Structure 1
């Protein structure tokens, strides 16, 4: 049975909710009715990263060893918008993957993985303009200097953070999620801390290696931090989205302050879904998503109630599941209240109740 949705009352947060609504009204039409089918864009690609600045949607994509930026007046319009190349791998780094565009202090930064085999590391370029004038790529000095992909920057609790998917050592056994502090958008500081490992049965459907990747931060209506990530291998239609929720007042660097959803929240196989969440009807293997946030800032995360834009990659049902058949899709999400995540045989409380998320094709 679906859990009842908690709707916000009229307390102090009303002013912030109204402000967010005014900011998004011109560019977002919220709906409470599910679309008839997933909106597959004409863009055959993976790993969308999209933010909104004013009424303009800005996306970055990896394409043939280069990074391209598109701008449009709607998420769906990005697929046919002109692609401007902002960086090309002239240095032969190899395998340019999964760029993430963020905005910090009015400046744009694109983080991306590049390398060959075990040499994949995170790099960053920056510019005052979203689609031109970027700096040369510099390698992020992430702590421990291990294989790293899918990294992104965000601010929470007055501190910049960087979250990514990586290896514990030098071999491809499993991909964990790590977090580290940042003293600036380009400078990690201190140690790396593991916050998730693919150890639950529903995220070990496919292996070699087992996967946690594509972390995307967002803040819920109670102000708690979530990292929504992709589980299972992207080469399988068991690829799905799951959630990490930081306990109230928790330390983002302490793994046992994070509670994991008890199954996929957005996936195409019922046996991997969290109880009360249904599998997709129109696509297989939805994953590596992007929350389309104002300025890409989790401080502008949406309130409870209506649905808000989401983009993800997936393969349309009835099509052979393969990387080359992945397309960007537009969808929506909303907050889902009073949801309990449970765990066992770990330090600390074995359950935590708070906001979760519902995703819609």
Structure 2
């Protein structure tokens, strides 16, 4: 269920953002903030470009199975139109589908890989570029994995042409799609989605070792099959699109579950921490989906992962249905995600049409306020984030209160250097905290002893015109005034990102 918030002057803000300019916010009579101070603050900050999902494309066509990398100062998207493979290059992630396509491979007729080219992935391995893709001879039952070999310029996958290299087959040669290679502890691996037998009963996730970037060695091992109800929507039941996310000694495989033609297509996660990747028993699968439909986003799945140009932020790139029930008519979406230790956390899909700052291009974008003491003032109520009576009681719920410049309304922002801040009350010395590290929208916000937990880490998003969103790292939910309530003393919460002023804040020195 959606909440209704005051729209305020958001439409004006969006018009200003669309015009690409950033003006100092006019002084509001009766506030403690001067226009000169806000002008000084705005001049000192960098405004990220604002975009909304889904990503625009040059032809407004249907896009699916997105594979994006960042290398040599550019983003590259490797895609397929079913009969040809192509790559685009862009300085920015949000514009990647607006760029010209460079077609890198059109297969000859009469080959096992002439038709139905699906889900290409672009990788630099062992000194060359390779593109891994699924294809068949016109009969889906004959789908297998294949690989192209490209140039040797590590910083530019478009420097040099691509030629057919090999078919990738395990000892048990069965139907196979959505292959992805990776390295771990000096060994090369390949993961993909396939059939157990020779008929389409269900799709499982398999892994095999590689002896080089274009050769599988030995037998395949199943590491996942549809087990839970959220993996079994649609017939046949599906696990597909596996993609590795490795952190330290932890290997995460993010995969797609349920029928890709359904609204309930979603992402699951497999995690191995003991290094024995070739044993199914080593892989843990949570009982709930890692990323699933929300609001006006249906069927989010088949993801790839990329960092911002400054190497600070993590972004998930995925496809979703263009509308309720549109099935394979899909668009590409993207948003930030976070980590809880070595485990990725994606939160929920940010709905289409919600303004999102683009990937950061430097510390002034990912960490847009300098370390120091600030008041945090609501756009919708003109009240400040406040510790009731300036109390030093741990666990006390944080409120909004009339701007009075008191110590109880002053917060010390301390950058953690990774795109997040610790926000500490000057009055109490305690940290702004998502109580219990809850993932639930509507959870209360408290002050708590500094414990280093990511529930006390906050991302500051510059939304332009002197306003910011403040996003919790643990939950990926935003600091919010419930129902835009104007009453002083209203307790503050975390809530889904939206377009309303209840999530917009001035950060005032």
Instruction: Please tell me the TM-score bracket, short chain as reference.
Output: 0.7 to 0.9
Q: Deviations over 1:135-171 (max 9, x none)?
A: 2242113221100000011101111100000011101
Instruction: Spell out, residue by residue over 1:86-114, the C-alpha distance to the aligned partner (whole angstroms, 9 max, x if none).
Output: 00121342111111111113421100000
Cα gap change, 1:261/1:66 in structure 2, threshold over 3 Å: closer, same or farther?
same
Which residue does 1:184 correspond to in 2?
212
Say if 1:292 and 1:309, in contact at 8 Å, map to a contact too: yes
Q: Structure 1 residue 38 and structure 2 residue 53: aligned?
A: yes
- Equivalent position of 1:350 in the other structure: none
Q: Conserved in 2, the CA contact under 8 Å of 1:41 and 1:329?
A: no
Q: Deviations over 1:25-61 (max 9, x none)?
A: xxxx9x9xxx995343325210011111121111111
Which of 149, 154, 173 is residue 126 of structure 1 equivalent to?
A: 149
Change (3 A) 1:36 1:252: same
Please state how far the C-alpha of 1:261 moved relative to its aligned partner. Answer: 1.8
CA apart distance, 1:356: 4.2
Q: Is the 8 A contact 2:82 2:118 kept in 1?
A: no
Unaligned runs of 5+ in 1: 1-28, 269-279, 296-301, 338-353
**Does 2:68 align with 1:50?**
yes
Deviation at 1:320, TM superposition (A): 4.0
- Aligned partner of 1:258 among 283, 308, 328: 283
- Within 5 Å, which residues of 2 pair with 1:151-170? 151-170=179-198
Q: Distance in 2 between matches of 1:333 and 1:125?
A: 31
What is the match of residue 242 of structure 1? 268
Q: Secondary structure of the equivalent of 2:230?
A: helix
The yes-or-no answer on 1:322 pairing with 2:331 is no
CA deviation map 1:292-316 (0-9, x unaligned): 2599xxxxxx8xxx74122111124
Q: Is the 8 A contact 1:51 1:294 kept in 2?
A: no
**C-alpha spacing 1:64/1:245, structure 2 compared with 1 (3 Å):** closer
Question: Partner of 2:338 in structure 1?
Answer: 334
Distance 1:170 1:293, change over 3 A: farther
1:224-243 Cα deviation digits (max 9, x unpaired): 00000000010101100010
Q: For residue 210 of structure 1, what is the aligned residue in structure 2?
A: 237
Asked if the contact 1:38–1:283 (Cα under 8 Å) also holds between the matched residues in 2, the reply is no
RMSD: 2.4
* Aligned counterpart in structure 2 of residue 100 of structure 1, from 106, 121, 129: 121
Cα distance per residue 1:176-221 (max 9 Å; x no partner): 00000001000111111000011222211222x110000000113x
**Equivalent of 2:96 in 67, 72, 78:** 78
Question: Contact between 2:267 and 2:289, CA under 8 Å: does it hold in 1?
Answer: yes
**Cα distance in 1 between the residues matched to 2:197 and 2:308:** 36
2:346 corresponds to 1:355: no
The aligned counterpart of 2:317 is 311
Q: Distance in 1 between matches of 2:325 and 2:282?
A: 40
Secondary structure of 1:95's aligned partner: strand
Give the distance between the partners of 1:322 and 1:264, measured in 2 at CA. 19
Corresponding residue SS for 1:40: coil
SS state at 1:102 partner: strand
> What TM-score does the superposition give when structure 2 sets the normalisation length?
0.54
- The DSSP-based 3-state class of the residue aligned with 2:149 is strand
Alpha-carbon distance change, 137 to 186 in structure 1, aligned in 2, over 3 angstroms: closer
Say if 2:307 and 2:314, in contact at 8 Å, map to a contact too.
no
Partner of 2:305: 291
Q: Which moved more, 1:181-190 or 1:285-294?
A: 285-294
Which stretches in structure 2 are left out of the alignment for 5+ residues?
Answer: 1-45, 351-509
State how far apart, in whole Å, the 2-side matches of 1:240 and 1:315 are: 11
Is the contact made by 1:114 and 1:121 (CA closer than 8 Å) also made in structure 2?
yes
Superposition TM-score, scaled by structure 1 size:
0.75
| Counterpart for residue 365 of structure 2 | none
Aligned partners of 2:271, 2:234: CA distance in 1, in Å? 24
